[in-house]
Amino acid sequence: MYKDYTGQVCPGRYRAKSNTDWANKGTFSNYGSDKWPPSGVFDRVVGDTGQVSGYLSQPAQSGTGGPDGDVQLILELSCQMELASFSVQCRANDGPNVTSAKGEMYGSSDGGSTWTLLGTFDSQVSWANSETRNFPVTAGQGMMFTSFKFVGQRVSNAGGSRMAISEVELFVTQWQGVSIPPADIGSGNTWMRDAAFTYRGIKTVYKDYSGSACPGRYRAMANREWCNAGFSGDGIASCSAMVQIPREDIGQGYSWTKDDSVMFNGLYTVYKDYQERTCPGRFRAMANENWWQMGADASVPWPGTGCKLGPSGAFDRIGRSCQKGGEFLTAAVIGRQNPDQVDSTLEIVLQTPCRMSLDSFEVKAMPGTAVCCRSPERMEVYRSTDGSSWTFLGQFDDQFDWGEEESRQFHTTGSGQYDWFKFAPKRVTAGYDLFDVNELELYTSNLIDLCSDGTSNCHTNATCINIGTSFTYACNGGHSGDGIACASMKQMPPADIENGYSWTKDASVMLNGQYSAYKDYTGSGACAGRYRAFSSVTWENQ
């Protein structure tokens, strides 16, 4: 049976049910005055004869010395609650010997598929009519549930009888409305595209949901076609692939260089000089809080021992790896379950060599048990051209129930090109002081890559490096010049001058009392003639 409630606290549909017949149950179509249905224990009215209030089981239950019974009284809600305690009330007449003497309380967040034991009581006898007794919740603190199950196991007399309960009362510390669509409705690729139902000429998508919260058909629509993740455009004429920066070959977190010449909030930073085709130059990652096993000395190589999970691990494109420095972990974020606390001040920053738009960003959660409690629930993103003045770019909120290594993409609201990007996690998904992320991924549709777009006049034997809205270049090894012109240099002596033992010792030409050695070169290389080598001290086995 159900009741649609429109009050201010937890509005929606309440449903009561029991696994056991109740007294005078009768037919489905009516409530006679002699009925004792399961809804009667949740109606906030003292159970009494002829009032259709309170519950009375039809079959008899064991007494105080008998085996446990299983009278289940279940209440399903349209919101989620954290239970602090629960009460059981004796009915108004003839109740002292038939009230529950032993019972259990459970909670469920998946419509009753799985239940968590929250509290128990036993040996509750000598009840008075209309008496209420309260029992504490001893497990499941901090957990939210949408269904509660009271299990009456024995009645309060020795011989056994039908079980009567006036009220089962729930006392909660907090409640939240259930998110719609529900969290388990399924990812976008599980929805069906429907050409028969359009919106402004565009096909819609729908999902038939059969879960516990608001079951039925959900339909989503937009007045524009859309592009898949990682693409931008109008969805009709174009869906152009966005560029992810850094590129996938940027290198594992441990390959980035620790650098205490550039500090951020008093902490050393890490950088990687990237020289491949797209956006070459120096990438620098930093955080304003110590990261996991950071160490105070930038000169100490990593990894060393343990897992040094620094900011480079959030941008290295390899995912979680203690052996390679993939992942970022720090102790700086307060959990969502501590609403009296202020937001975290943690900042994770990436400086890119190219200026670029940030059309969207993606957050990839951790594998394993960390995903439940240390993933970001709320995060803000900012942009800058100088690393000191920041402009808000986008955010997300209420991101719970992350799956292992799940990626979620979020779009930004800004425009323009920037080369500093700051991620500011505000809360994590549970009451932890750790923030943990597998990857932070940046997508752009407008990349200012002067080294690759034809702007640069670097020589083919030079390396170009982007620096924001400019670039610099230098001739590669084996070449000399200013980077615009790079001439090949010759290495002397020539490669075919032959090994050291083929040179002739010569005591007629000395250096500091040590004889010299010479070689008359007539090979195909440049600079034919005599080469002479000296040392001012004796050498091994001279």
Residue 127 DSSP class:
-
| pLDDT of 540 over the 50 cut | yes
Tens of pLDDT along 271-295? 999 988 788 889 999 999 988 888 8
Q: Tell me: cis bond preceding 215? Omega within 30 of 0 counts.
A: no
* 483 occurs within a structural domain: no
Mind listing the pLDDT tens digit for each residue in 355-365? 999 988 999 98
Residue 233 forms part of a structural domain: no
Q: Is 258 in the same domain as 156? A: no
Note the pLDDT tens digit of each residue in 436-462.
Answer: 888 999 999 888 887 877 777 788 888
**pLDDT tens digit sequence for 372-418:** 788 888 999 999 999 999 999 999 888 888 888 888 888 887 678 99
Nearest to 461 by CA among 426, 487, 424: 487
Residue 533 lies in a domain: yes
Clarify whether residues 270 and 415 are in a common domain: yes
Question: Does 26 reside within a domain?
Answer: yes
| Same-domain check for residues 202 and 283 | no
Rounded average pLDDT over 312-329: 80
> Same structural domain for residues 285 and 396?
yes
Residue 464 lies in a domain: no
How many structural domains compose the chain?
4
* 108 has a pLDDT exceeding 50: yes
Closest CA to 258 of 216, 223, 212, 295: 295
Q: Residue 242: its pLDDT value, please?
A: 86
Given this model, what pLDDT does residue 343 score? 85
351 Cβ neighbours under 8 A, 6+ residues apart? 282, 283, 284, 285, 286, 387, 419, 420
Query: Does residue 108 form part of some domain?
Result: yes
The residue segments making up the domain with residue 386 are: 253-448
Q: In this model, does residue 338 exceed pLDDT 60?
A: no
Please give the Cα distance from 59 to 152 (Å, whole number). 13
Q: What is the pLDDT of residues 16-61, one digit of tens each?
A: 999 998 888 766 656 666 788 899 999 998 988 878 888 989 899 9
pLDDT, one tens digit per residue, over 219-272 is 998 876 677 667 776 665 667 788 999 999 999 888 999 999 999 999 999 999
Query: Whose structure tokens read 């001040």?
Result: 345
Q: Shortest CA distance to 149 belongs to which of 42, 10, 59?
A: 42
In this structure, the answer to whether residues 127 and 217 fall within a common structural domain is no
Residues 193 and 166 in one domain: no
Kindly indicate the confidence band of residue 339, based on its pLDDT and cuts at 50, 70 and 90. very low
pLDDT tens profile 411-422: 887 678 999 999
DSSP track, 23-78: TT---TT---TT---GGGGSSSS--BTTTTBSEEEEEEE--TTS----EEEEEEEE
Residue 473, in any domain of the structure: no
Asked if 425 contacts 311 with a C-beta cutoff of 8 angstroms, the reply is no
Given phi > 0 = left and psi -120 to 50 = alpha, else beta, which region is 90?
Answer: beta
**Is 194 part of a structural domain of the chain?**
yes
Residue 232's pLDDT is 73
Q: 342, 485, 333: which is closest to 424 by C-alpha?
A: 333
Least confident of 18-32, 152-166, 326-340: 326-340
Looking up residue 151, the CATH number of its domain turns out to be 2.60.120.260
